[in-house]
Amino acid sequence: MLPLGSVAPDFSLKDQHENTIQLSNLKGRKVLLSFHPLAWTSVCSEQMKSLEAAYDQFEAMNVLPLGVSVDPVPSKKAWAEALGLKKLHILSDFWPHGEVARAFGIFREQDGFSERANVLIDEQGKIVWIKVYPIGQLPDINEILDFLKA
């Protein structure tokens, strides 16, 4: 896992609408990368719905929340529609498989997907908060919001 204060590795991934999101183009904004193992699973679904529910709070603090998993774009699109996601971008780290999760040091080689983790990147592209959660645990969105408010 990358240490706090390190520069977040740049990446370019497609979201559920096939729009390309490049981290380096987001400088000047904070970015929350919310890694989740796999779409269509219960905890991952709740994790993405919690980000969607808090989207306006994040936006008010100049934070762009992004969901990230190894699922392909068509799966992400269907999943986002099934979850009713209107604002949240969910990114496909499908190919090269898990490359972004690997760059952040949170890819689970034995499973073929990322850890469940939240990574907060500041306006200059540095990692200021990172937490890895047990795979079956829903991340508490309030701990991120509280960190941002402090």
Angle at 68 between CA 128 and CA 87, to 5 degrees: 95
Q: What's residue 41's pLDDT?
A: 96
Does the residue 2 lie in any domain?
Answer: no
pLDDT, residue 122, reads 98
Q: Tell me, yes or no, whether 125 lies in a domain.
A: yes
CATH code, domain carrying 120: 3.40.30.10
Residue 18: give the domain boundaries: 12-149
Has residue 3 been placed in a domain? no
What is the pTM assigned to this prediction? 0.97
Q: What is the pLDDT of residue 3?
A: 95
Number of domains in the chain: 1
CA 50/CA 46 separation, integer angstroms: 6
Q: What is the pLDDT of residue 80?
A: 98
Per-residue pLDDT tens over the stretch 35-84: 999 999 999 999 999 999 999 999 999 999 999 999 999 999 999 999 99
In a domain, 7, yes or no: no
5 falls within a domain:
no
- Residue 34 has a CB neighbour count (10 Å cut-off) of 25
- pLDDT tens-digit profile of 79-108? 999 999 999 999 999 999 999 999 999 999
Query: Considering the domain boundaries, does residue 6 fall inside one?
Result: no
The answer to whether the beta carbons of residues 21 and 32 sit under 8 Å apart is no
- Check if 44 is active-site: yes
Q: What is the mean pLDDT of residues 114-127?
A: 98
Catalytic residue among 13, 31, 43, 44: 44
